[in-house]
Chains A and B, each alone.
Chain A
Amino acid sequence: AQTVTQSQPEMSVQEAETVTLSCTYDTSESDYYLFWYKQPPSRQMILVIRQEAYKQQNATENRFSVNFQKAAKSFSLKISDSQLGDAAMYFCAYKGYSKLTFGKGITLSVRP
């Protein structure tokens, strides 16, 4: 079975600085997708970024980028120029041939 591990329950970043959220996963599948979802206090689950495992190039979406290390099964999210609106819980998720598997999430706070 696939597992997703987010080992840090909380992180804090100063506004305008850069922060990296870590995620590791375990799988025996060769083709899969990885996602980062954001859950602000409104509790809505918002897709931030996705990465296809067959693509070597790291995905980017404006201030959000990932560092995808397939051999190490690592998928970290980098948030540049952090803003107050980035404060939320972030979930890493894995999607292979079966269900979407989530990590336990990390709470990110942004200091003004």
Chain B
Amino acid sequence: DADVTQTPRNRITKTGKRIMLECSQTKGHDRMYWYRQDPGLGLRLIYYSFDVKDINKGEISDGYSVSRQAQAKFSLSLESAIPNQTALYFCATSEQGLAGGPEQFFGPGTRLTVL
């Protein structure tokens, strides 16, 4: 089984709809992240969480919210989806470690299309 899973893998929705993307991990990591990938822009950080009670905004958090339901679960919500939120979304995890710590492990991604 994959260590970091994302559901759904693909989603098409309409403008104005609320949508939730879910991420689960079995790696036992404390830190979890949500990124979006757009062509020509690389990956950009939306939100991150260092533990269940710690939620932080990334560089592009507007229009998004998150919930850390448990150490292993981190959900991303779009309260009212708009077309420019069409992108590939990744969840990632990492261990708690020294500053500058270890690498992040990514889920398989969710392709979201907002019509």
Binds B, one of A12-20, A43-51, A55-63, A65-73: A43-51
A100 vs B105: C-alpha distance in the bound complex, in angstroms? 12
The chain A residue sitting closest to B48, CB to CB, is A99
Q: Is A31 an interface residue (CB 8 A)?
A: yes
State which size class the interface on B falls in: 20 to 34
Tell which of A9, A37, A45, A96 touches B100, judged by Cβ atoms closer than 8 Å: A96
The answer to whether A44 touches B109 (Cβ under 8 A) is yes
**Contact flag A102-B43 (CB < 8 Å), given A43-B88, A43-B109:** yes
Chain A 61-100 interface residues, beta-carbon cutoff 8 Å to B: 91, 95-97, 99-100
The chain A residue sitting closest to B94, CB to CB, is A100
Residues of B near A97 (CB, < 8 A) are 99-100
Apart from A43-B108, A95-B103: 9 A-B pairs, beta carbons within 8 A: A42-B108, A43-B109, A44-B108, A47-B105, A95-B100, A95-B101, A99-B45, A99-B48, A102-B42
- Residues of A whose CB lies within 8 Å of any CB of B are 4, 9, 29, 31-33, 35, 37, 42-45, 47, 50, 53, 91, 95-97, 99-100, 102-105
A–B complex contacts, Cβ < 8 Å, 19 sampled: A31-B100, A32-B100, A33-B100, A37-B106, A43-B109, A44-B106, A44-B108, A44-B109, A45-B90, A45-B109, A50-B103, A95-B100, A96-B100, A99-B45, A99-B58, A99-B59, A102-B42, A102-B44, A105-B42
